[in-house]
Amino acid sequence: MKSLHQNRTWELVELPKGKKTIDNKWVYTRKEGSPNQSTLRYKVRIVAKGFAQKEGIDYNEVFSPFVKHTFICILLALIAEYESELAKLDVKTVFLLEDLEEEIYMTESCGFKVAGKENHVCRLIKSLYGLKQSLRLWYKRFDQFIQGQKFTRSEHGHCVYFRRLQDGAFIYLLLYVDDMVIASKNKGEIERLKKQLAFEFEMKNLGDAKTILGMEIHRDKRNGSVWLTQKSYLKNVLEKFGMNDKTKSVSTPLTPHFKLSSSSCPSSQEEHDYMARVPYASVVDSLYVCYVKWILQYLYEIFDVGLLFKKDCSQQCVGYCDSDFAGEDQQWATYSHCVEV
């Protein structure tokens, strides 16, 4: 609440005639530390119930881009190739920074009503967690700021920014909501950009990037290699669903003997009751896959496997594609060309 008041997120007013309010609630979370930091943090925030907002009244545009995993892989490949530094930062109270463009009223938060103004409402001045337009407003502000620092936004990814340095090298920045990573061979330029960001936003310097979007980054600078894995995430999923050391693992994600048809559906009340007790929906929600048991067994077999990026002095990019769109005649084409960075 102190942060909200310091940021002047709202002002207490009487509800104008003809206007409606949206409600809010407190959200409590426990945030576990990274694989290298086991500290458990308790977080709380007040969240507006944005599902009650009306399009054209409470908001108009809501779309905001995200950095794609493809660009993360490209950045890690560049880091391995040019032995660059990789830093990670986090923006605090990211959705409380930008002025709202719409006129929105919210009920006072439970437990923090101001004496003598119990019948007043909060006229939102700044964006707030839960509002449909909050993410878009944050992105617009950050995009304007970073381009003002002479960074160029990539034509292929609107959350990818870069700037050519005086020595001909580059500095890159990837943004995912309130998380960002910065990469460059010039450590001084990374520190300079950190200071510029800290001057504009309230930042948390997380040092060398060890994780990104739940994935772990492992570096071997001596051999010029970078690993990207999901070991900790997969380990937690496997433990959640009882996949222990005694589980029989499999080496393929799917086998030909899987045949799905209507005959596989429950046909009796007993089978329906049994299926109702199996947490398939919860598993699929965690993995975004079907054929749950087999997939879990496969993940147990390969949960410590990751993507490896190594320094390649040839700087050639080799790609493969199925030229007949997965037809019977499997003809593969190979493309190789020099990459100009």
What pLDDT score does 330 carry?
Answer: 45
Q: Rounded to whole angstroms, how far apart are CA atoms 157 and 47? A: 29
CB 183 within 8 A of CB 171: yes
Q: In the chain, where does DSSP find H-type helix? A: 2-6, 69-82, 134-148, 187-200, 231-240, 269-276, 280-287, 292-302
Averaged pLDDT for residues 55-80: 89
Among residues of the chain, what percentage have pLDDT more than 90?
A: 35
Q: Which of 24-33, 112-121, 269-278 has the lowest mean pLDDT?
A: 269-278
Please classify residue 58 by burial: count the beta carbons closer than 10 Å to its beta carbon, then call 0-12 exposed, 13-18 middle and 19+ buried. Answer: buried
In 3D space, the residue among 305, 290, 292 whose CA is nearest the CA of residue 240 turns out to be 292
In 3D space, the residue among 209, 7, 207, 15 whose CA is nearest the CA of residue 96 turns out to be 7
User: For residue 71, is it left (φ>0), alpha (ψ between -120 and 50) or beta?
Assistant: alpha
Q: Rounded to whole angstroms, how far apart are CA atoms 175 and 160? A: 7
What residues have CB less than 8 Å from 233, skipping those under 6 apart?
A: 214, 215
What pLDDT score does 340 carry?
Answer: 37
Q: Mean pLDDT score of the chain, rounded to an integer?
A: 82
Q: Highest mean pLDDT range out of 59-73, 107-121, 253-267?
A: 59-73
Q: Which of 76-80, 219-223, 271-275, 326-330 has the lowest mean pLDDT?
A: 326-330
Q: Which of 16-25, 53-62, 212-221, 240-249 has the lowest mean pLDDT?
A: 240-249
Decide which of 208 and 247 is more confident. 208
Q: Rounded to whole angstroms, how far apart are CA atoms 277 and 51? A: 31
Averaged pLDDT for residues 213-229: 88
Decide which of 81 and 297 is more confident. 81
pLDDT at 151 over 90: yes
pLDDT at 57 over 90: no
Averaged pLDDT for residues 186-208: 92
Q: Rounded to whole angstroms, how far apart are CA atoms 50 and 132? A: 6
Residue indicated by tokens 């407190």: 26
Q: What is the bridge-based pairing of β-strands 179-184 and 225-229?
A: unpaired
Please classify residue 103 by burial: count the beta carbons closer than 10 Å to its beta carbon, then call 0-12 exposed, 13-18 middle and 19+ buried. Answer: exposed
215-220: strand order across its sheet:
211-212, 215-220, 225-229, 307-310
- What single string gives the DSSP state of each residue in 275-320? HHTS-HHHHHHHH--SSHHHHHHHHHHHTT--EEEE--TT-EEEEE
pLDDT at 272 over 90: no
Averaged pLDDT for residues 203-219: 89
Bridge partners of 107, per DSSP, are 121
What pLDDT score does 75 carry?
Answer: 93
Q: Rounded to whole angstroms, how far apart are CA atoms 338 and 341? A: 10
In 3D space, the residue among 203, 74, 86 whose CA is nearest the CA of residue 145 turns out to be 203
Q: Highest mean pLDDT range out of 132-141, 239-248, 299-308?
A: 132-141
Q: Rounded to whole angstroms, how far apart are CA atoms 2 and 115? A: 17
pLDDT digits (tens, 9 = 90+) for 230-265: 888 888 888 887 776 655 777 777 766 666 667 767
Tokens at residue 133, please? 């337009």
What pLDDT score does 113 carry?
Answer: 82
Q: Rounded to whole angstroms, how far apart are CA atoms 58 and 98? A: 16
Domain spans of the chain, in order of start: 2-220, 231-302, 309-338
pLDDT at 316 over 80: no
Decide which of 69 and 246 is more confident. 69
Averaged pLDDT for residues 280-292: 59
Q: Model-level pTM?
A: 0.75
What pLDDT score does 170 carry?
Answer: 94
| H or E element at residue 96 | none
What pLDDT score does 202 carry?
Answer: 87
Q: Per-residue confidence at 338, pLDDT binned at 50, 70, 90?
A: very low
Q: Highest mean pLDDT range out of 36-50, 124-138, 307-321, 327-341?
A: 124-138
Tokens at residue 185, please? 């061979």
Q: Per-residue confidence at 38, pLDDT binned at 50, 70, 90?
A: low
Among residues of the chain, what percentage have pLDDT more than 70?
A: 83
First to last CA, the chain: 47
Tokens at residue 120, please? 């007043």
Q: What is the bridge-based pairing of β-strands 121-124 and 10-13?
A: antiparallel
